[in-house]
Amino acid sequence: MRRETTRQTGRVDLVVTGGTVLTMDPEETVVENGAVAIRDGAIVAVGARRAVESGFQARRTIDASGRLVLPGFVNGHTHAPMTLLRGVKDDVDLMTWLTNYMFPIEKRFVSREFVRWGALLACWEMIASGTTTFADGYFHEEEVARAADESGLRALPGQGIFDVPTPDSQTSAEGLARAEKLLSDWSGHPRITPSLCPHACYTVEPDTFVRTMRLAERYDAPVQTHLAESPAEIALVGERYATTPVRHLANLGVLNERLVAAHCVCVDDEEIAKLGSSGTGVVHCPESNMKLASGVAPVPRMLAEEVRLGLGTDGAASNNDLDMIGEMGSAARLHKVATLDPTAAPAHAVLRMATLGGARALHMEDRIGSLEPGKRADLMVLDLSGPGALPLYDAASHVVYSARADAVETVIVEGRVLMDRRRLKTLDTDEIRVRVGRFGRKIRAALPE
């Protein structure tokens, strides 16, 4: 499908021209030999190369000939600082992983410095693999906000809120106070959208969930949580509240258009309908769910119910990477084998989950997720010169089933080039490597034999 969207003329900051443009707009418009014009961080035109180049005078032009141009990926759920815990403990179930390994290690090692350098490492990894927006939940989230701001990425840092002591708060009241400071300090930033992250139904009391939502309403902020992630969670919530996690949040009145719920593995048809009708965003994290043996989320049913469904990597401690291209391939294949239906989670639907679907899950589809005039200029250029891209019949199929992260060549956020022909422009990767190495040695020395 082809649609011309070039109407304006004049001077612009940047034109990305000559590539096949996958707009990911509602009509999934594809423009062969297309171009995207950018001014003041926004897309002002998308259309045929000749029309855009004749209508606009660009301060800089990026030649994307023989390449794909598409929206940057939206990583709807991750824990950026946990890159420093990548591979610390593998091959156990979720509750064992959390209770016996992650929580004790975090209690000992997590600090503002830990969060800063783990988040900068994550930003490096995400830029290098085409992510332009990420939603995060952890501790000392002001450092994640700083790291995202310095890297040039768009982010939703979410201050972790628990009713048990954490590395930055002894009580939920202290966590909410930290969250309010994050909201106050960062609200109104063009790329950083501060949020709150009450961890889960089994670590956050009902009153704390309600207070969190009230605080979010005061600041018009998103709320992120883990929801119905595993059978063990279902058992815990059932024993404590005699209901399921989704119904529990619905009973509290916090299942709404402000909420972003990660995982939703163990949900029934009625709960899927509740998620859809409430406007709750849902983020599917297939690789983490597979690795922790949490189960398979009913993604085909969610797609059929038109749930606001996005895709996320989860943290690098349970994935073990932040590569959205790999995540798409896993998502598409997982649901085919789980349902024994090769039409489940087709490539175009999964690519939408990683772009416009992710934007819808984060309630940001008015700003990001597709290449359309008026939206923010968050996009990437994907190289097609490698053997794995030849021959190319269907661009979406290639991105989901064949592409690799190292094919991401250029990344642009808010009209700013963050990576140019694989050269990172915003981060000191040598310093990140040194700092991360120091943390790795300390943590490795403390691990049991």
48: domain CATH number is: 2.30.40.10
In a domain, 190, yes or no: yes
Same-domain status, 347 and 409: no
Same-domain status, 337 and 418: no
In a domain, 5, yes or no: no
> 146-183 as b/e, with b when 16 or more CB fall inside 10 Å?
bbbbebbbbbbbbbbbbbeebbbbeebeebbebbbebb
Residue type, 346: P
In a domain, 269, yes or no: yes
Count of beta carbons in the 10 Å neighbourhood of residue 218 = 10
Count of beta carbons in the 10 Å neighbourhood of residue 188 = 9
Separation between Cα atoms, residue 255 and residue 56, nearest integer Å: 45
Domains: count for the chain? 2
Phi, psi dihedrals of residue 75, rounded to the nearest 5°: -85, 100
- Give me the mean pLDDT over the 9-37 stretch: 96
Same-domain status, 95 and 14: no
pLDDT in tens, 269-290: 999 999 999 999 999 999 999 9
Same-domain status, 394 and 271: no
The last residue of one of the domains, among 344, 361, 378, is: 361
Same-domain status, 29 and 163: no
Q: In sequence order, which ranges of 369-410 are alpha helices (DSSP H)?
A: 395-397
The pLDDT value given to residue 78: 98
The last residue of one of the domains, among 361, 386, 406, is: 361
pLDDT in tens, 319-341: 999 999 999 999 999 999 999 99
The pLDDT value given to residue 447: 82
Same-domain status, 61 and 121: no
Same-domain status, 126 and 262: yes
Same-domain status, 396 and 260: no
The last residue of one of the domains, among 308, 340, 361, is: 361
The pLDDT value given to residue 272: 98
Separation between Cα atoms, residue 384 and residue 397, nearest integer Å: 13
The pLDDT value given to residue 449: 65
Same-domain status, 39 and 130: no
Q: Which two tokens stand for residue 79?
A: 């824990």
Separation between Cα atoms, residue 73 and residue 128, nearest integer Å: 11
pLDDT in tens, 58-102: 999 999 999 999 999 999 999 999 999 999 999 999 889 889 999
Residue 5 has pLDDT above 60, yes or no: no
In a domain, 398, yes or no: yes
In a domain, 429, yes or no: no
pLDDT in tens, 24-69: 999 999 999 999 999 999 999 999 999 999 999 999 999 999 999 9
- Give me the mean pLDDT over the 113-117 stretch: 98
333: domain CATH number is: 3.20.20.140
Q: Answer whether 431's CB lies under 8 Å from 106's CB.
A: no
Separation between Cα atoms, residue 307 and residue 160, nearest integer Å: 25
407 secondary structure, DSSP code: G
The pLDDT value given to residue 2: 41
pLDDT in tens, 392-445: 999 999 999 999 999 999 999 999 999 999 999 999 999 999 999 999 999 999
Same-domain status, 217 and 332: yes
In a domain, 430, yes or no: no
In a domain, 121, yes or no: yes
Same-domain status, 28 and 103: no
The residue segments making up the domain with residue 380 are 10-71+367-424
Query: Which class for 350: exposed (0-12), middle (13-18), buried (19 or more C-beta within 10 A)?
Result: buried
In a domain, 433, yes or no: no
The confidence band for 8, taking pLDDT boundaries of 50, 70 and 90, is low
Same-domain status, 58 and 79: no
